[in-house]
A and B are shown apart, each in its own frame.
Chain A
């Protein structure tokens, strides 16, 4: 059996690699701030009207941003942070409806409406085209002898009138 003199180093390196895989990479301050901005843009300011926590100057929003910041520093993901706020305030706190349950309906109803409208329009146009293709009669085929006589009489009267 071959004895490796550097075996302890290999083991140590492997252990370090395994340990580091379990650790969240440390974020720079710029990265933390960028995440805080992104996440707080998804949260509704509870004391304002139509403003996100990111855009609000209210003290409460500033505290919520601080909370988001400390959660980001703890290594929590955007989903985990939004889920925390939702568990405390309800779905109201999220600025975008969730893509599940009734929220799913809000996301897909406009798309479904547009698709349905497009289909209806398509079938309507196709039907009209078919009908006009079937009818396409020449004038003579559709006019009765009485009607032709009447048209000729009217034209004559018109010319005389000129």
Chain B
């Protein structure tokens, strides 16, 4: 009877968890620092320089199919929340890529927000515990990672996460 009870408890706990979610140990932890060179000649960009403004950091690659799917969503978020409302800064870091391929992809899919490239060792991606592309991190104005989305981001999820970061109605204060 005891064994059956144990199994029941195990199933109840197990079924409550989302099998598609891998919790990042970096949530509510300081975001690892990074410094990249802008692909369009913007010069050096770093997380340190962006401190004080929430950051939407997207890891992507020109070889990644889901990145095509989410490109328009990120661009729309950039236009609305970065350029228009000045609520966040949107930055993309291409992984396992070349500047030429990344720029070609950006042009084809209308990515106009600042883009940089991870190094050959993938240091930035590894420091963020990235499993693959795309992954998007939401970093608050103090440089703390508050949320992470694995896979192509949707308009609803990016809006909700940005509102949370900015402490706007519809989202809790970070």
Contact = CB atoms under 8 A, between A and B. Distances in A.
A93 B26 CA distance: 14
B121 interface: yes
B122 A67 contact: yes
A90 B132 contact: no
Nearest to B127: A88
Interface stretch (A33-41, A56-64, A139-147): A56-64
B37 to A, nearest CB: 19
A140 B121 CA distance: 88
Interface string A3-28: 00000000000000000000000000
A88 B121 contact: no
A113 to B, nearest CB: 11
A88 B122 contact: no
Nearest to A65: B121
Interface in A87-141: 87-90, 92-93
A89 B132 contact: no
Interface string A44-87: 00110000000000011001101100100000000000000111
A67 B121 contact: yes
Interface in B11-68: 22-26, 32
B23 A90 contact: yes
Interface centre among A46, A67, A88 (most CB of B within 10 A): A88
Contact of B25 (A47, A59, A89): A89
B117 to A, nearest CB: 13
Contacts, number: 46
Size band of the A side of the interface?
10 to 19
B123 interface: yes
A67 B123 contact: yes
Contacts of A60: 96, 122, 131-132
Contact of B96 (A59, A86, A92): A59
Given A63-B126, A67-B121, A46 B132 contact: yes
Contact of A66 (B25, B121, B129): B121
A88 B25 contact: yes
A143 to B, nearest CB: 42
A88 B128 contact: yes
A76 to B, nearest CB: 14
Nearest to A59: B96
B71 to A, nearest CB: 21
Given A60-B96, A66-B120, A66-B122, 11 more contacts: A46-B131, A60-B132, A63-B121, A63-B125, A66-B121, A67-B126, A88-B25, A89-B24, A89-B25, A90-B24, A92-B22
Interface of B: 22-26, 32, 96, 120-123, 125-129, 131-132
Interface of A: 46-47, 59-60, 63-64, 66-67, 70, 85-90, 92-93
